[in-house]
């Protein structure tokens, strides 16, 4: 046992009391290490940073999932100035089939036949179909869009139907309340169009000009069923036949508000064709999301992210993967990456 030295005042001093310089330096180093790790962890747990990351990644994934679920294009619009993000996608608001005499089946606004009796044919695209070629020239199908606020095509739309032409002639196939339509020419070409809404000096919308596309001749065959589609997403107006693009034109802005029903048939000279499986979709937006205070998107981050119906990035808009960079008030950054197949990492 080591002898104990007398302490001042007559007591015995414990040799373990106090720290050597080496021990003090070791303790201080450990404290610095712990505090440094802790500060980094606290930064990672910053609620504003976590909210910002979650806001962006969740909005992107929502749009991609909507595209896949609905088999339709979707996108995210981004306002860098306000930090506002919104997912948008096509949503089916009405489908109509023609299996039973006198009854228009499906969901969406009510539909009825006008201008005389339009018979059914058993040789439809699927089941029976409306036979406009065997009916009166004025015969038409009218869908009361004005009775359902959900059928608002102003932010974009897709109108789709199955058609079998019996005799090629210049006539209107469908008219979306005077705001958009699809016409057939005698040479088998298609003409798609819509009326633009323009914003005047007062900030109010006004009826603008007609945006128009034309396909090549012969894209609509005679004597066999094909599927026609006219779509507009406030970026391009496209026409497709059997999922093959036959016409496209760049366009921006909203569609002028429909002023009546969706009409199929009833054009000049009548529609010499059978029609089946009519589908109307409109672009609908989810709730807007806002970045928290103190967080902004880097200036070169994209303002729109487009997904195809398969969930991948639209190659026409995004030929390479995307990066969205979040910038924080303290100078830090986080990067969110969107791969070519639409995967979101961040």
Q: How many domains does the chain have?
A: 2
Residue 282 to residue 175: CA distance in whole angstroms: 15
User: What per-residue confidence (pLDDT) applies to 302?
Assistant: 93
User: What per-residue confidence (pLDDT) applies to 26?
Assistant: 72
Q: Is residue 21 part of a domain?
A: no
Same domain, 264 and 131: yes
Same domain, 123 and 229: yes
Contacts 24+ apart (CB under 8 A), 173-177: 173/228, 173/264, 173/265, 173/267, 173/271, 173/273, 174/230, 174/262, 174/263, 174/264, 175/262, 175/263, 176/145, 176/258, 176/262, 176/280, 177/145, 177/146, 177/258, 177/259, 177/260, 177/261, 177/262
pLDDT (tens digit per residue) in 186-216: 999 999 999 999 987 777 888 999 999 999 9
Q: What 3-state class would DSSP assign to 27?
A: helix
More confident residue, 7 or 281: 281
Residue 264 has pLDDT above 50, yes or no: yes
Same domain, 66 and 101: no
Q: Is residue 255 part of a domain?
A: yes
Residue 228 has pLDDT above 70, yes or no: yes
Residue 27 to residue 19: CA distance in whole angstroms: 10
Report the half-sphere exposure of 274 (CA within 13 A, side-chain side).
25
Average pLDDT, the chain: 88
Same domain, 273 and 301: no
Same domain, 265 and 182: yes
How far is the CA of 251 from the CAs of 193, 196, 236, 237, in angstroms?
11, 9, 5, 7
User: What per-residue confidence (pLDDT) applies to 42?
Assistant: 46
320, burial (CB in 10 Å: exposed 0-12, middle 13-18, buried 19+): exposed
Return the bridge partners of 284, or none: 89
More confident residue, 326 or 102: 326
User: What per-residue confidence (pLDDT) applies to 315?
Assistant: 93
Helix (H) or strand (E) segment spanning residue 125: none
Among candidate residues 259, 285, 311, the one where a domain is terminated: 285
Residue 171 to residue 101: CA distance in whole angstroms: 25
Helix (H) or strand (E) segment spanning residue 44: helix 21-44
User: What per-residue confidence (pLDDT) applies to 1?
Assistant: 46
305, burial (CB in 10 Å: exposed 0-12, middle 13-18, buried 19+): buried
Ramachandran region, residue 339 (left: φ > 0; alpha: ψ -120 to 50; beta: rest): beta
Same domain, 126 and 163: yes
Same domain, 184 and 120: yes
Range of the domain at 179: 89-285
Helices and strands (H and E) in the chain: how many: 2, 23
Among candidate residues 270, 285, 300, the one where a domain is terminated: 285
Mean pLDDT, to the nearest integer, of 273-281?
96
Same domain, 240 and 307: no
More confident residue, 231 or 7: 231
Q: Is residue 33 part of a domain?
A: no
At residue 15 the predicted structure's pLDDT band, cuts being 50, 70 and 90, is low
Residue 300 to residue 305: CA distance in whole angstroms: 13
Same domain, 332 and 205: no
More confident residue, 26 or 297: 297
pLDDT (tens digit per residue) in 31-78: 766 555 444 544 455 667 888 999 999 999 999 998 998 888 899 999
């Amino acid at each position: 046992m080591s002898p104990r030295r007398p302490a001042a005042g007559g007591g015995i001093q414990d040799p373990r009391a106090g720290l050597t310089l080496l021990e003090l330096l070791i303790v201080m180093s450990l404290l610095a290490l712990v505090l440094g790790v802790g500060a980094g962890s606290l930064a990672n747990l910053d609620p504003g940073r976590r909210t910002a990351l979650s806001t962006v990644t969740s909005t992107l994934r929502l749009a991609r999932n909507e595209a896949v679920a609905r088999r339709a294009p979707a996108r995210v619009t981004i306002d860098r100035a306000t930090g506002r993000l919104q997912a948008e996608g096509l949503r089916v608001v009405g489908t109509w089939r023609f299996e039973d005499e006198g009854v228009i089946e499906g969901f969406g606004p009510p539909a009825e036949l006008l201008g005389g009796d339009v018979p059914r044919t058993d040789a439809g695209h699927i089941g029976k179909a409306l036979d406009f070629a065997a009916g009166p020239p004025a015969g038409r199908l009218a869908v009361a869009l004005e009775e359902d606020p959900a059928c608002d095509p102003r932010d974009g739309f897709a109108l789709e139907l199955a058609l079998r032409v019996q005799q090629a002639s210049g006539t209107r196939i469908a008219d979306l309340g005077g705001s958009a339509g699809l016409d057939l020419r005698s040479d088998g070409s298609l003409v798609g169009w819509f009326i633009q809404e323009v914003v005047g000096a007062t900030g109010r919308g006004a009826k603008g000009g007609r945006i128009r596309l034309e396909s090549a001749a012969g894209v609509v065959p005679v004597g066999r069923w094909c599927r026609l589609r006219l779509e507009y997403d406030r970026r391009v107006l496209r026409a497709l036949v059997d999922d093959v693009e036959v016409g496209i034109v760049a366009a921006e802005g909203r569609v002028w508000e429909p002023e009546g029903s969706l009409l199929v048939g009833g054009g000049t000279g009548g529609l010499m064709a059978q029609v089946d499986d009519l589908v109307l979709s409109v672009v609908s937006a989810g709730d807007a999301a806002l970045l928290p205070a103190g967080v902004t998107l880097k200036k070169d981050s994209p303002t729109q992210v487009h997904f195809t119906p398969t969930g991948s990035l639209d190659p026409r808009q995004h030929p390479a993967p995307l990066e969205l960079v979040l910038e924080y008030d303290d100078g830090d950054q986080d990067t969110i990456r969107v791969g070519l197949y639409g995967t979101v990492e961040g």
